[in-house]
Structure 1
Amino acid sequence: ALLTDLPEGELGRLAKALKDYRKLKVLRLINIEVGEAEAEEFCKALGLNDTITKLEIKALADALKCNCTVAHIDLSNNWIGAEGAKAFADALKSNCTVTDVNLYGNWIGVEGGKALPDAVESNRTVTVKLGSFQLLGGKGAKDVEESWEHFEDATKSQAWTGKVRIKGLASQLTTNSGTTHLNLGFQHITDEDCQALADALKSNRTVIRIDLHYNCIGDEGAKALADALKSNCTVTHVNLCDNRIGGEGALADALKSNKTVTDINLFHNEIGDEGAKALADALKSNCIATHVNLGSNDIGVEGAKALADALKSNRTVTHVDLPHNKIGNQGAKALADALKSNCTVIYVNLCDNRIGDEGAKALADALKSNKTVTKINLDDNKIGDQGAKAMEDVQKFNHV
């Protein structure tokens, strides 16, 4: 569909009607008048649309040049095209209120790929969420790499896909003082890539969130990141779920000295009992971290006992996330004993942990005196009638 010369107000009407056009795949907007409120409304409508595959939106970019209120723009998984990317890049150079632009999963073309880095370099307030960009055809891809070393060419069956080039990004991080959130999931990041990022984080003072989920990071990459976090004083959230991190790379050393990280997600790695023990030792002295997710990490009784011992003295951790491990009754008993004296934990997730009646009864007994835990998850365990009754009875003493 081609819409041209629309007066102000029409884009808002289109946003409301977009959900009804189930067969609309291509949308071009040329020379339209748009107010800030309807531009924001249209962006939200696009986020809910799953049929449009190609979108030319130069008009929205033009509106951003004079807009002074819109802060967040999410156009992920659309085909905004090279012209759309160039228009947005041009708008971002003069806009000083937009802080977050999500162009993940877009076709931006070679020209769009060359225009965006200039905008990021000159705009010191915006965070561009990086992801899988597509550069249709291989010709000109080298120019993109020269203008912004964020892209690495990789031949695919139908198109050229731009994978984030980490070393180039790391170089940008040393000069770009506006980036606050690194969203680099699903990027095949290796230990070597992680080392480059870690080196940049040692001097970077703006990034507060690091999301590296679903990559290929092992112990060496995690160690490099941990080393960077020892001196970094701005990062608060680190997501490393679904990588290949073992016991040696569990970030324990960083937690002993870091004073800003509050949330670490290590779900679905390979840290095992040794990694859990190292983290537990770090938590004894750490007084900042509140969330540590160790789900699906092959943690057994020994790891659970070590974590339980740490919780007896730790006064900051509020969420204990240990789902899909194998702590069993003995591990549950150890955690129950810790909860009798701990007064900060509010959430405990022990689902799928081979816990039976014995472990459930121990936890129930602990909750009779513990007045801070508000939720405990024991789904998918081996708890029978006795354990279930014990947990049911504890509600008379506790508001779990």
Structure 2
Amino acid sequence: MEYEIAKLNKKDMKKQFILLGLFLLASSFTVSQVRGQEVQKKMHWKGCADKVTKRETYLNLVKAYAKKFRNLTELCNGQWPDSTDARYLRAAAEALAYNQTIIKIELAYRDSACVIALAKALEKNRTIRELVVLLSTEMGSTGAIALAKALEKNRTIININLICSYIGSEGAAALATTLEKNRTIRELALRATKMGSTGAIALAKALKKNSTITNIDLSCNDIGSEGAAALVTVLEKNRTIREMQLGGIKMGSTEAIALAKALKKNSTITKIDLSGNGIDSEGAIALAKALEKNNTITNIDLSDNDIDYEGVAALAKVLEKNSTIMEISLNNNRIGSAGAVALTKALEKNRTITKIDLSWNGIDYVEAATLAKALDDTIPCKKECIYLTYDKTMYNGIHLTKSLEKNSTITKIYLKTNKPGLEDIAALANALHKNSTITEVYLSCYDIDYEEISTLANILKKNSIITEISLYGRNKIGSAVASALAEALEKNSTITKIKLRLKDMDCVGAVALAKALEKNSTITKIDLCYNNIGSAGVVALAKALEKNSTIMEIRLNYNNIGSTGVVALAKALEKNSTVMKISLMHNRIDSVGAVALAKALEKNSTITKINLNRNGIGPEGAVALAAALEKNSTITKIGLGGNNIGSTGGVALAMALEKNSTITKIRLNGNNIGSTGAVALAKALEKNSTITNINLIVNHIGSAGAAALAKALDKNSTITEINLVGGNNVTYKELTALFIDKHIIIDGGKD
């Protein structure tokens, strides 16, 4: 009995132990759970706080972009973020969506992420009318599809330019689908977009239904005969397209013939580009037949094809009767002399053509002269400018200028050739002697001798009409050429602008010109860049400037002047009171020259623009110029880029800008001013109220320098553009964050 009781007690005790254990386990679990809930609750509130903070940060970004866009009418590369941070793209897109001032967007080198964000904004925006996204090879079909989707909703954009942005066939097809429904787009440029024949076929289908596009550019796309055939059918049905550019699409003559048939029926196309399509004479003949019936085309480009005499003869026959074509380009074909004869006959009867390009066709002297006569007999053209470019076999093609003897409308003539002969120059000179309207002459010859230029110079002595003359070339006797012209300038009383870039003029030619400028009283602008005139040459010119009272602008870039020459020029500028613009870029003037110029600028009261880029003036030169700028009250633009002025020069110029009240634009790129110089400039910009544009690339200013400049712009309200992107030890992402709410352009590149 006792045993049973004892046994029972053990069982009871065991049960009690189990119950106690379960109770304790349950109690422990409940405590852990409660504690877990508390931790979870704390984490939940912390997460909410983080979300609120992120949301606030994002809203601040949107507000910053909205503020940035508010006063813009055109959005360019430097004002739109890249894809390094998606938050900035989203914020910019949201701000742009509701912007009411921007009417044009022009971006370049953008990837699909950037374009997708932009597309999202375009879905809602109601003011943008023109969209340009160039050279965006990473845009891809994804970006194009996003744009297409946006254009389905957008009702304001009328012009789209995606030149050299690789959208592919899929992207082109997406845009085509949109164009079937869109009723606002008028101009579409898809040149070099890698659309292929599939993309072209899709676009052709859309253009048959579209009734708003008037101008389309599909050039430089390898769409082949299949794609070209699809586009041909567009011309048969579409009644709105007026300009169509199909250059370099590898059409071939077969499709050119089909296109010609379509042009017979089409009554809206006025301008068509078929250059670089391998069209032979068979295709040209078909096009000629089309032009017999078509009465709307005014401009046709058939350059860079394979048209020979047979094809040009057919075209010439049409031009005899055609009364609508005003411009035709046949350069770089196989016309030859026989083709020139056929065209001559046509031009004798034609009364509408104002421009014809026949360069690089192997036309010889006899036919060139005959063409000139035909141009003489053409009834009053509305030509104001004539461009004549001669091929390698046509050195004496300048005989075409005989037509200028009687012409009474042309005012400018541009002549390019490799090696003119004396007879050619004589023909030009004689034409200029008899012509009474030409005021500007541009002659580019790579090998012209003294006798030839003397012939032209003799005419300039007597001519009383020409006001501008430009002579380019690489001549072994550049000094002799300059001397001949100098003699003419002593007597000429009408020329106001002269540009001589002869490569080898040297000091002898410069001395002769200087002597002429002492007597001349009409020239106001002179450009002698790239002539290697040296210090001796500029010393002579400086002496002339002391006496001359008409020259207002002088350009002497790349002339190896050195400090000696600049010292002489500086002394002249102290006395001269007419020169307003002077450019001395890349002349090795060093600190000695800069100090001399600084002294001159303290006294000079007429110069408004000076370019001293790439002259190695160093810190000493910069300090001297800075002191001058504190006193000078006329200079508005100054270029000091690439002078290695360092932080010392940067600080000195900054102090000057605190006091200067006239400079609006300054270039300090490539000067290694560092963060010290940048901070000093920032301090100056807080006080300066005239500078609108400053270039500070390649100065290693770092994050500290960039931050100081950004802070300065909180107080400055005049700067519109500051270039910091590149060579500054600060990423594009950092710059975007720093300047996001500023009314400026920081440049569109990337560090």
TM-score (ref. length: structure 1): 0.81
Q: 1:376 to 1:399 in 2, by over 3 A?
A: closer
Equivalence map 1:185-334=2 (5 Å)? 185-250=529-594, 251-334=597-680
Structure number with bigger Rg: 2
State the match for 2:505 in structure 1: 163
Q: 1:335 to 1:115 in 2, by over 3 A?
A: same
Q: 1:142 to 1:225 in 2, by over 3 A?
A: closer
- Residue 108 (str. 1) matches residue 453 (str. 2): no
State the match for 1:88 in structure 2: 428
**What residue identity is the alignment partner of 2:455?**
A
Shift of 1:396: 1.8
**What residue identity is the alignment partner of 1:394?**
F
Shift of 1:315: 1.4
Q: 1:174 to 1:350 in 2, by over 3 A?
A: same
State the match for 1:153 in structure 2: none
Q: 1:208 to 1:111 in 2, by over 3 A?
A: same
Shift of 1:123: 3.9
Shift of 1:93: 4.6
Alpha-carbon contact 1:350-1:378 (below 8 Å) kept: yes
Paired with 1:9 and 1:329, the residues of 2 have a C-alpha distance of 72
Of stretches 184-193 and 50-59 in structure 1, the one that deviates more from structure 2 is 50-59
State the match for 1:183 in structure 2: 527
Equivalence map 1:329-340=2 (5 Å)? 329-340=675-686
Query: Match for 1:374 among 714, 720, 737?
Result: 720
Paired with 1:340 and 1:223, the residues of 2 have a C-alpha distance of 35
Shift of 1:349: 0.5
State the match for 1:156 in structure 2: none
In structure 1, the gaps of 5 or more residues are 151-159
Equivalence map 1:344-383=2 (5 Å)? 344-383=690-729
Paired with 1:383 and 1:290, the residues of 2 have a C-alpha distance of 30
* Higher helix proportion: 2
Task: Provide, for residues 2-35 of structure 1, a one-character-per-residue CA deviation record: whole Å limited to 9, x for no partner.
Answer: 55756469799594545xx6x5466653133257
Q: What's the C-alpha RMSD, in Å, of the aligned pairs?
A: 3.5
Paired with 1:192 and 1:224, the residues of 2 have a C-alpha distance of 10
Q: 1:61 to 1:9 in 2, by over 3 A?
A: same
Q: 1:184 to 1:10 in 2, by over 3 A?
A: farther
Q: 1:26 to 1:248 in 2, by over 3 A?
A: farther
Alpha-carbon contact 1:55-1:78 (below 8 Å) kept: no
Shift of 1:341: 0.9
Paired with 1:269 and 1:177, the residues of 2 have a C-alpha distance of 31
Task: Provide, for residues 162-189 of structure 1, a one-character-per-residue CA deviation record: whole Å limited to 9, x for no partner.
Answer: 6361111111212333333322122111
Shift of 1:144: 6.6
Of stretches 80-89 and 229-238 in structure 1, the one that deviates more from structure 2 is 80-89
TM-score (ref. length: structure 2): 0.45
Shift of 1:372: 0.8
Task: Provide, for residues 301-353 of structure 1, a one-character-per-residue CA deviation record: whole Å limited to 9, x for no partner.
Answer: 11111111111121111111011111000000111111111111111100001
Q: 1:50 to 1:186 in 2, by over 3 A?
A: farther
Q: 1:370 to 1:143 in 2, by over 3 A?
A: closer
Shift of 1:92: 4.1
Q: 1:39 to 1:163 in 2, by over 3 A?
A: farther
Q: 1:84 to 1:352 in 2, by over 3 A?
A: same
SS of residue in 2 equivalent to 1:103: strand
Shift of 1:50: 9.1
Aligned residues: 379
Shift of 1:194: 0.5
State the match for 1:67 in structure 2: 408
Of stretches 2-11 and 335-344 in structure 1, the one that deviates more from structure 2 is 2-11
SS of residue in 1 equivalent to 2:713: helix
State the match for 1:154 in structure 2: none
Query: Match for 1:58 among 399, 411, 414?
Result: 399
Alpha-carbon contact 1:11-1:42 (below 8 Å) kept: no
